[in-house]
A = this chain, B = another copy of it.
């Protein structure tokens, strides 16, 4: 029988699972929020993932449910599990990707390296944390944040007034002095097998991933080993199935601290489509179906991925193809089928080769020709 994977969410992550599903000969069904979503080609249901009836009907007949995003309410996830649907990653793992306070508590309990942090219940809590951490810190809403949303740098308690007024659960973290940001992706299947890709460097701009260099320069040896150990500990201890992305700070005093977790394919793994023997999307499908995982070696000495953002230039992405494709015949383009609203991720470009500077240049050149804000 052909295995059937149901993906909740119709964004670009679901879209990029489609080629992997075709290659493996498995059926992919998508629950999309809207008509014309990025993964619309595989959408069998258009509806609200926060509606239990919609999700239960979508899940009928699938072998496993997985996700394009982490926002499905816990109550619905629990109902799915109660009804015998395989949900991967499971509700208990996803909870920690949904709630940064619970995530910090759990990682701290596991002895994993995290920034200093505290819950914030009152303005006084925040003031106390600021006093003991040099007067500047990072305030986060526990839930609902992504791509820089729900995160702000604060220097006084007034900076939390609106969020406290709204009753958001908040946490505060030390402002980490980091040299760079890294990401370690691994995949884990229910039977326990874990594989990882090389640790990568991610360059953020305005809170959004802009560029990824794989592997992270000068990461061989200790950094690579520590990053992999952290990610495998998180995946095993939290019982994550599928792809897990661990975003890390490399501090100026040579420590690695866990920043965020994502329990799904992740922007920092898009390079694997062209740069690794097994892409994160294929691996995610293999993992959630409990199939043997694929090899994760690099196909090039260096791979560089640059996001393409919608920008002030008008017209669709495809209007800019003739110039971009002619200029950069070696760069691989991945379009997300989205309207090019300013600042929105509408695609990415990946280049590979032996000379990092030259590879970066090619990927940036292609992205710059495709989206006006990507060149940076």
Contact = CB atoms under 8 A, between A and B. Distances in A.
B318 A26 contact: yes
A279 to B, nearest CB: 10
Interface stretch (A116-124, A171-179, A330-338): A330-338
Interface string A2-27: 11000000000001101100111110
Nearest to A321: B291
User: Which of A26, A291, A292 has the most chain B CB atoms closer than 10 A to its own CB?
Assistant: A292
Contacts of A19: 18-19, 22-23
A324 to B, nearest CB: 8
A92 to B, nearest CB: 26
A79 interface: no
A322 interface: yes
A369 to B, nearest CB: 11
B22 A322 contact: no
A334 B24 CA distance: 6
A169 to B, nearest CB: 38
A42 B22 CA distance: 11
Contact of A25 (B2, B330, B337): B337
A75 interface: no
B18 A326 contact: no
Interface stretch (A160-168, A218-226, A254-262, A293-301): A293-301
A318 B1 contact: yes
A334 B23 contact: yes
A302 B109 CA distance: 49
Give the bracket for the number of chain A residues in contact with chain B.
35 or more
A10 to B, nearest CB: 13
A69 interface: no
Contact of A292 (B41, B294, B322): B322
Contacts of A292: 321-322, 325-326, 329
Nearest to A330: B295
Given A18-B18, A19-B19, A42-B41, A277 B24 contact: no
A240 interface: no
Contacts of A18: 18-19, 22, 41
B25 A317 contact: yes
A333 B24 contact: yes
A203 B299 CA distance: 27
A278 B322 CA distance: 16
B3 A325 contact: no
Contacts of A41: 18, 22, 41-42
Given A19-B18, A318-B2, A25 B347 contact: yes
A333 B347 CA distance: 26
A333 B25 CA distance: 9
Given A291-B322, A292-B325, 10 more contacts: A2-B337, A19-B23, A23-B332, A24-B333, A25-B333, A25-B347, A41-B42, A292-B326, A293-B325, A294-B325
17 contacts: A1-B316, A3-B318, A15-B22, A16-B22, A18-B19, A19-B19, A19-B23, A24-B318, A25-B335, A25-B336, A26-B318, A277-B329, A278-B329, A291-B321, A292-B321, A293-B325, A294-B325
| Minimum-distance CB pairs A-B, first 5 | A25-B335, A19-B19, A292-B326, A292-B325, A295-B330
